[in-house]
Amino acid sequence: MELRQIGTSDLRATPIVFGAWAIGGWMWGGTDDEKAVEAINAAIDAGINAIDTAAVYGFGHSERIVGEAIQNRRDEVLVFTKCGLRWDHDGGQHHFDSEKADGEPVEIHRDLSRDSILWECEQSLERLGIDRIDLYQCHWPHEDTPAEETMGALVELLDQGLIGAIGVSNFTAEMIDEFLSYGPIHCSQPKFSLLSHEHLDGVIAWCDEHDIATIVYSPLEQGLLTGKVTVDREFAEGDQRRDRPWYTEENVRRVNAVLDQVMRPIAEAHGATLAQTTLAWTVRAPGITCALAGTRNPDQALENAGAMDIELTDEEFQTIKDAFWQIEGP
């Protein structure tokens, strides 16, 4: 299996990484814990060697599920998690209002202060049942905390061996550049898909030039780019896709038309599904190290892992790009 280096760290990850947000249930209309554990095991069995989660996913639930799934196979998998979004105290910059699975309102706050990071790391290690987080990422920027303080805490954790590499998510190139004055940044995690590609020539290209890996989130545009979202699909209460602009009836039709007309013939030529072709395209795009494929069950795990066997030609890559770049955003 191909492995890709995470920046200048000694981590090597498979191009497809298991995304563990949905299995936390929060913002995805709930979750099935048993299936989630099976999905993680199926992904590892199929060759995926890394999992991306975050403390805030299900308010600790995703990390606990990941911990349960990997308890007897820790050596086979890299664990990436995130800090900086707190739901359990009301200090720090307001991020957004949300609600827990039982409908209880919750305010999410950004906090990248030293004390918060050290405390969050301890909590995540405990929930995950491990003694080292391979990649620890700042989930969102927190402009009230000086970069020097945040990086000081992360470098301390690195020196103690509690984390193996440092990452940031949703940061601009300028923000990463400032953080680099105080220590290493191994990885950046922006959003990127065939429908959301505004960062490709920006922070993604910048990181490529600075030896920083890029692992991208929502490469399937939360399921839309699998071709399995049809206009009659009903999303559960609490599933964020009910309100996402790409998920209006008109947009689902427009995207499915391009998937059918342009991507499907290419997928069929490779004996691949649309989801696999989308993921194979994503990890072939310039500057992209890995794609985080959000996965809820064993079938999706197998399908998504199968994307690593598909190699698109230059011409196929370009044909798909041209077609999707023409779709106007919502």
Ligand X SMILES: NC(=O)c1ccc[n+]([C@@H]2O[C@H](COP(=O)([O-])OP(=O)(O)OC[C@H]3O[C@@H](n4cnc5c(N)ncnc54)[C@H](OP(=O)(O)O)[C@@H]3O)[C@@H](O)[C@H]2O)c1
Angle made by CA atoms 294, 295, 301, in degrees to the nearest 5:
130
Asked if 277 touches ligand X (CB under 6 A), the answer is no
Residues touching ligand X, count (CB under 6 A): 27
Asked if 69 touches ligand X (CB under 6 A), the answer is no
Residue 102 or residue 234: which is nearer to ligand X going by CB? 234
- Nearest alpha-carbon partner for 30 in 224, 237, 226: 237
Q: Considering only 67-75, 91-99, 218-226, 247-255, which stretch makes contact with ligand X by CB under 6 A?
A: 218-226
Asked if 228 touches ligand X (CB under 6 A), the answer is yes
Asked if 92 touches ligand X (CB under 6 A), the answer is no
The structure tokens listed for 91 are: 């200090």
Asked if 81 touches ligand X (CB under 6 A), the answer is no
Instruction: Give the residue nearest to ligand X (CB).
Output: 294
Q: Considering only 19-27, 98-106, 178-186, 259-267, which stretch makes contact with ligand X by CB under 6 A?
A: 19-27
Asked if 24 touches ligand X (CB under 6 A), the answer is no
Give the nearest distance from C-beta 294 to ligand X in angstroms.
2
Q: Considering only 117-125, 203-211, 289-297, 322-330, which stretch makes contact with ligand X by CB under 6 A?
A: 289-297
Catalytic residue among 57, 136, 217, 247: 57
Asked if 7 touches ligand X (CB under 6 A), the answer is no
Residue 130 or residue 135: which is nearer to ligand X going by CB? 135
Residue 132 or residue 228: which is nearer to ligand X going by CB? 228
Asked if 220 touches ligand X (CB under 6 A), the answer is yes
**Residue in 217, 246, 247, 281 binding ligand X, rule: CB under 6 A:** 217
Interactions with ligand X, residue window 34-53 (CB under 6 A) = 52
> Can you name the residues that pair with 199 across neighbouring β-strands?
none
**Three-state secondary structure string covering the chain:** CCCEECCCCCCEECCEEEECCHHHCCCECCCCHHHHHHHHHHHHHCCCCEEECCCCCCCCHHHHHHHHHHCCCHHHCEEEEEECEECCCCCCEEEEEEECCCCCEEEEEECCCHHHHHHHHHHHHHHHCCCCECEEEECCCCCCCCHHHHHHHHHHHHHCCCECCEEEECCCHHHHHHHHCCCCCCEEECECCCCCCCCHHHHHHHHHHCCCEEEEECCCHHHHHHCCCCCCCCCCCCEHHHHCHHHCHHHHHHHHHHHHHHHHHHHHHCCCCHHHHHHHHHCCCCCCCEEEEECCCHHHHHHHHHHHHCCCCHHHHHHHHHHHHCCCCC
Interactions with ligand X, residue window 146-185 (CB under 6 A) = 169-170
Residue 159 or residue 329: which is nearer to ligand X going by CB? 329
Active-site residue flag, 57: yes
Residue 52 or residue 111: which is nearer to ligand X going by CB? 52
Instruction: Give the Cα separation of 269 and 286 in Å (integer).
Output: 23
Asked if 219 touches ligand X (CB under 6 A), the answer is yes
Which positions lie near ligand X, rule CB under 6 A?
Answer: 19-22, 52, 139, 169-170, 189, 217-223, 226, 228, 275, 292-296, 300, 303-304
Q: Active-site residues: which are they?
A: 57
